[in-house]
Structure 1
Amino acid sequence: MISQIFILSARGDIIINRDFRSDLVKNTHEVFYRQVKLSKGDCQPLFNIDGVNFSYLKRAGLYIVATSRFDNSPSFILEILNRVCTVIKDFCGVLSEEAIRKNFILIYELLDEMIDFGYPQLIQTEQVKPHIANEPIVIKKQTLPTTTTGRLGSLFNQGTVSSIATNRPVNSQSKKNEIFVDVFEKISVLFNASGYVINSSIEGCIQMKSYLNGNPPLKLALNEDLVIGKGENGRVVLDDCNFHDCVNTNEFDLSKTLRIQPPDGEFVVMNYRVTSEFQTPFRIYPVIEEISNFKLELHLKVKACFPKEIFASYVTLTFPMPKLASNITNELGKNASNQSVDIENKGDVKMVKWNIKKFMGDTEQVLITKITLQSSANSYSARKEIGPINVSFEVPMYNVSNLQIRFLRIDDKEKSNPFRWVRFITQSSSYVCRT
C-alpha cells in the first residue's frame, strides 16, 4: 500500500506530488532529499526515517519516490515505480524533467488511473490507454546520444533513422507504421594486473517498441545455434532466459522462434544471462614502474578488440592516486585525438579521469601518469593505492554474446510493408582492472 508518489528534479525541486492516503506529513520530499544528499556515495534505494518507508528509482536525473507507513514488499514497490516510469515514458515519449513539467496534467491523470487509494490497479500501458483523455505535449528538441540503427536485413547499411525516433508518445497522432527492436547487453568483467580475465558475465535483453497499426502479431527468430544451458564450442550459449507474458515460446526449443502479440508501449521481449567465456571489447594492461623512491609512473594501455569498422563512444577510465601524491602529470600517446585527462578530488583521494570520445576498433590508446610523492611517503605503500581502474563505455551496433536476430516477420493483413529497425548496443556495467 503506497501513501505517496512524488518526482523530484536533481536539484530537489518537486515536480509531481500525488498523495493517495493523506496519512503522512507534507514535507516528506524534503526529508527524502536531505537523506539522499547526506549519504556518502549512492544512497540505498530503500530506507526508513521516523516510521516512513522510502523507496525510489533514479532515472534521467530524476528521483521517482514512493512512501508508505506499511511494511510492503520492497521488490513490489520498486516494480510499481518501474511501471510508473515506463507508462510515463510511453505516453510522453521521453522521461525527462522538461517532458514531465509540460505534461504534468497528463501524468496526474495517469497516476490516478494506475493507483487507487494506494493500491495499484492498472499498471501497464495498454490497460491505462483507453482511460486517458489528455493528449501529450511532445518535446521536439532533445539532446540525446545518437546511436546507429539499421533496417532489418541490412543492419550495417548507411540508411538510418535517428535514435530519438522511439521517443514518440504511443498515442501520437503522427503514428508511423514501424517497429523498433533493441538488443542491449551490459557486461561485467574483472581483470587481474596482467590483463587476464578473472570473471565475466553478460546481462542482456531484447526490447521492443511498437508503432504498428493495429498491433499485429510478430514472429521473431534468433540464432539457430542458440543453446540454453551448457553447449558445445562455437555455439551461442545462454545460461538462462525469461520472456514477457505476450511471448509464445512453443517453437523456441525447435526453431528458436518467438511469436509475439505486442502490447502498446515499450516492453522487454526476453532477458538473458551469459557467464561463459567471450571476447571482451577492451583489454587493459597497466604497468607501474618505480622511477625513484619518490617517483612512480603508471603506463596504461587500452586495446579495442572489436572490428575496426565499429567504434566505441563515451569511453571513460578512472582510477585513484596515492593520498600522499604531491604532483601528478599525464601524457597521452602519440596521435591522440578527441581525448582529455582530468584530475578530480573526491574527498581526500585524487582521481584521474581519462575521456576518449571515439575509440575505433582494432586500435589501442596509451596514457602515462607520472606521480611525485611527498617526502614522508612510502613508495611501496603508495604503489598499492593506485587503482583499480574502472572503465565505462558504449559500443553501438555490436554485441559480445553473438546473439543475432535472423528475421522479424509481421502478420500485416494490409500488406503495408512496415519498417523494422534493429539496434545492437553494448555497455559496461562493472568493467574493472586491478593494478
Structure 2
Amino acid sequence: MSGAASALFLLDIKGRVLIWRDYRGDVSAVEAERFFTKLIEKEGDPESQDPVVYDNGVSYMFVQHSNVYLMTATRQNCNAASLIFFLHRIVDVFKHYFEELEEESLRDNFVVVVKSLCIYDLRSLLVALIHLGKMLNYFVLGWQYELLDEIMDFGYPQYTEAKILSEFIKTDAYRMEATQRPPMAVTNAVSWRSEGINYKKNEVFLDVVESVNILVNSNGQIIRSDVVGALKMRTYLSGMPECKLGLNDRVLLEAQGRATKGKAIDLEDIKFHQCVRLARFENDRTISFIPPDGAFDLMTYRLSTQVKPLFWVEAQVEKHSKSRIEITVKARSQFKERSTATNVEIELPVPADATTPNVRTSMGSAAYAPEKDALIWKIRSFPGGKEYMLRAEFRLPSITDEEAAPERKAPIRVKFEIPYFTVSGIQVRYLKIIEKSGYQALPWVRYITTAGEYELRLI
C-alpha cells in the first residue's frame, strides 16, 4: 500500500486538461480522457459517488473544487486515502497563492517570464498550452509546475504547507522569485514552521468554538442533536516554542486520580493538527506541540450526546379568511441567566405570496425579506432565561389557485453567538509556552458557542 502516484492532472468542468505533471512516465494525457469518460458513467449511478475510479489497470483518485477537478493516476497499489488528502492539501496551497482555485485563476497564473529556461516536462507543458490557447515564447516557466515539483517528488507527496512553500516559491502578479535554497522547515521534522521567527511581543490566542446542530420536528421532538467543537489558535511566538495544553479530559483526570464529577468531559472524533505529538497524547493525554506561525486549528472534536436546545421557538399561524394571515412567535432562551447571547437572528418562513407586513416585537427588530419568503427577527442581546414575542400580520392575494399543490413550509432557522460559554463544558486547564530563550509569553483563552444547522420544523 506504499505505491506512488504516476501523474497529477487538473481538469476543467468538461474534462479538458488545464495542467498536468508526469512523475513516473507510465501514464499519458490519454488517461485524463479515460478518467472523465468513466466519471460521466458513474454520475448516472447514485450509489457510485466515491472518489476513486478504476479502469484498465489505472486507479484514479479525484476531488472537485469549484469548476476544477484535481486527479491523480497510478498503476500501483497505493494508499487512496492519503492521495485524496494530498489533493485537498493542493487546493489549500493554490488558494494560498491566488486566493481561489478555479479555472480562470489557473489560466491567469499559468505562465510567467523569468531569466532562465526551467521546464521539466516540455511535452506536458505544450499540451497544457494548447488547451489554454497560450503562445510559447522564448523563456517560460509555469510556477504552478514549480509548486507541483515541490509538493510531490517521483509520485510521493512532499511539502504541502503553503506558508513554507511561499518562502522559496514567491509570486507577485506574474513575477516569480526563487530563493537560493529551501528554508530549514523543509529539511527538518518541523515542516510547518520556519526558524528565525521573531516578535517583539509574544502572544498566543486560543478560541474554543463550539457549533450546535439541532433539528426539531413539529411535535417538539429532537430528531438530531450534536456539538462540533474546534480549538482555533493564533500564535505570535519567537523561535521554536514548545506548547503544552491541558483540558478537563475525563481519561486524564481519572488517570491522575482526581475527582471528575461534573467537571470532566468525554470528547469524540478528536482530530489534531499535524504539529501535535500523537504518541504523547495516547500515552498521557497531554497535548504537546510546536505550533505553526499564525492562525491554525489545533484540534477538532464532536459530542454526539443529546443537548438541550439553547433556544426554543414556537410559532402559531392563524388564517383569517383567505386574505389575511397572523403569526405569533415566542422565542425563549434555555441557558443560565449569567450568559447572554448576541446577534440572535430568527428566520421565520412566510407564504410566498404574502404582502403588506405589519410586525410588532417585544424586543429587537423584524424585517420582511421577500427574496427568502421569510421574516427576519434580530435581537442584539438575548440574556439567558428570557422570553420575547413577535406578532406579524400579512395580506394574502384574494384569488388563489385551488388546484395548486400545498406549499411546503421551510423550517424556522436560528443563528446566535454566546460568548464565554460552551455546551460541552470543556475547559482549558493550562496553556504553557516554553522556549529556550526563556521569554515570557501571554496566553489568551476565549470561549464561544454558535449556531450550526439549528432548525425547528413547523410541519
Please, what TM-score do these two structures have when normalized by structure 2?
0.60
Q: Which residue of 2 aligns with 1:179?
A: 204
Q: State the distance in 2 between where 1:191 and 1:398 align.
A: 22
- The one-letter code matched in structure 2 to 1:81 is L
Alignment of 1:69-218 (within 5 A): 75-87=81-93, 95-96=99-100, 109-116=146-153, 119-125=155-161, 129=164, 132-135=167-170, 176=199, 177-193=202-218, 195-218=220-243
* Equivalent position SS for 1:80: helix
Instruction: Report deviation, 1:286.
Output: 2.0
Q: Find the partner of 2:370 among 321, 343, 349.
A: 343
* Equivalent position SS for 1:287: strand
2:360 aligned with 1:333? yes
* Equivalent position SS for 1:410: strand
Instruction: Report deviation, 1:274.
Output: 1.0
Q: Which residue of 2 aligns with 1:247?
A: 276
- The one-letter code matched in structure 1 to 2:88 is N
Q: Which residue of 2 aligns with 1:370?
A: 394
Q: Assess if the C-alpha contact under 8 Å between 2:91 and 2:101 holds in 1.
A: no
Q: State the distance in 1 between where 2:367 and 2:207 align.
A: 31
Q: Find the partner of 2:347 among 317, 340, 343.
A: 317
* Cα pair distance change 1:232/1:295, threshold 3 Å: farther
* Equivalent position SS for 2:370: strand
* Equivalent position SS for 1:20: strand
In percent, how many aligned pairs have the same letter? 22
Q: Which residue of 1 aligns with 2:20?
A: 19
Is 66-75 or 279-288 further displaced after alignment? 66-75
2:348 aligned with 1:280? no
- The one-letter code matched in structure 2 to 1:389 is I
Q: Which residue of 2 aligns with 1:352?
A: 373
* Equivalent position SS for 1:247: coil
Instruction: Report deviation, 1:219.
Output: 1.2
Q: State the distance in 1 between where 2:244 and 2:151 align.
A: 31
* Equivalent position SS for 1:110: helix
Q: Which residue of 2 aligns with 1:234?
A: 262
Q: Deviations over 1:3-54 (max 9, x none)?
A: 556599xxx9xxx9542139448999xx99xx9xxx9xxxx89598x99978
Q: Which residue of 2 aligns with 1:390?
A: 413
* Cα pair distance change 1:292/1:310, threshold 3 Å: same
* Equivalent position SS for 2:455: strand
Q: Which residue of 1 aligns with 2:290?
A: 261
2:382 aligned with 1:361? yes
Q: State the distance in 1 between where 2:316 and 2:252 align.
A: 39
Q: Assess if the C-alpha contact under 8 Å between 1:247 and 1:258 holds in 2.
A: yes
Please, what TM-score do these two structures have when normalized by structure 1?
0.63
Q: Assess if the C-alpha contact under 8 Å between 2:324 and 2:395 holds in 1.
A: yes
Instruction: Report deviation, 1:333.
Output: 3.1
Unaligned segments of structure 1, at least 5 residues: 139-168, 345-350
Q: Assess if the C-alpha contact under 8 Å between 1:66 and 1:81 holds in 2.
A: yes
Alignment of 1:14-93 (within 5 A): 18-21=19-22, 23-24=28-29, 55-56=62-63, 65-68=69-72, 75-87=81-93
Q: State the distance in 2 between where 1:78 and 1:367 align.
A: 51
Alignment of 1:394-413 (within 5 A): 394-395=417-418, 397-413=420-436
* Equivalent position SS for 2:300: strand
Q: Assess if the C-alpha contact under 8 Å between 2:250 and 2:264 holds in 1.
A: yes
2:459 aligned with 1:429? no
Instruction: Report deviation, 1:200.
Output: 0.8
Q: State the distance in 2 between where 1:53 and 1:249 align.
A: 31
Unaligned segments of structure 2, at least 5 residues: 111-141, 174-191
Q: Find the partner of 1:420 among 432, 436, 443.
A: 443
* Cα pair distance change 1:55/1:184, threshold 3 Å: farther
Aligned residues: 371
Between the two structures, name the one with larger relative contact order (CA 8 Å, sep ≥ 6).
1
Q: Assess if the C-alpha contact under 8 Å between 1:311 and 1:358 holds in 2.
A: no
Cα RMSD after superposing both structures: 5.2
* Cα pair distance change 1:352/1:247, threshold 3 Å: same
* Equivalent position SS for 2:354: strand
* Cα pair distance change 1:97/1:86, threshold 3 Å: closer
* Equivalent position SS for 2:207: strand
